[in-house]
Amino acid sequence: MKYSNEVENEGFSIINNVFTENEIENLISLIENKTENNPENDTFRKSQDLFAIRQFHKEIPETLPYIFNQNLQNIIEPIFGKGYFITKSIYFDKPEKSNWFVAYHQDLTISVDKKIDVENFENWTIKQNQFAVQPPTEILENNFTIRIHIDKTTKDNGALKVINNSHSKGILRIENLDFKKEKETICEVEKGGIMIMKPLLFHASNKTTNNERRRVIHIEFSKQELPNGLEWSEKTIIQN
């Protein structure tokens, strides 16, 4: 299958036309209703360059039937199999005049419910009562992320840039990548399309230059149980 091969070999795949215009409008309506009625919510992060909702699928669970439409379910299962659950989700809204940019990095942490000293789980942090930790590489290697694009995303409004196949190199410092030998792709996605990516894929995004908004729902998945009493803090089973 094309998409499965792309995810395995390149670390990412772009699939357009996963969501209808009507499904996207329903998602926007649910998000706007929540943000307008709960402006002081602790899980909201707001600045002139970025608005974000952490624990998105728990804050607005009404979005889940629209997100996990038949198209998305038909994509996930052939690529990754059964048994995956949500471990984390964030809604990003990058406004029209945003100067927000993100340097190249890998996604190295997971969200857990408490801090327990477990071998090979390191670099603990806590932010707003949320524990994050870097797990063993094999956990990261088997997880995946889906980014749902509520707006058309181009190189001019902060589309992700990735280093193809960088997910296959394990955990790396960015200075150990020889950019002269690497292939960089700008991941432009249509409204209603998705990008699938592996956490260890190096990715970055530039500032917005075309005065166009960029809204994305970022969802991370795993099917691995954590050891020694550690639990995923946002674990949610996907209902078919």
pTM: 0.93
Query: Residue 37: what pLDDT?
Result: 66
Q: In terms of residue numbers, what domain contains 176? A: 2-237
Q: For position 49, what pLDDT does the model report?
A: 54
* CATH number of the domain enclosing 174: 2.60.120.620
Q: Return the pLDDT at 210.
A: 86
Tokens read off for 234: 């946002």
How many domains does the structure of the chain reveal? 1
Look up residue 45 and give its two tokens: 């992060």
The per-residue pLDDT for 101 is 81
pLDDT one digit per residue (tens) for the chain, 240 residues: 788 999 999 999 999 999 999 999 999 999 998 887 665 656 565 555 568 899 999 999 999 999 999 999 999 999 998 899 999 999 988 876 667 788 999 999 999 999 999 999 999 999 877 899 999 999 999 999 999 999 999 999 889 999 999 999 999 998 888 888 999 999 999 999 999 999 999 999 988 888 888 899 999 999 999 999 999 999 999 876
Query: How many angstroms separate the CA atoms of 115 and 131, rounded?
Result: 7
Q: Are 233 and 124 in contact (CB under 8 A)?
A: no
CA distances from 186 to 21, 61, 74, 175, 216 (A): 24, 31, 25, 20, 16
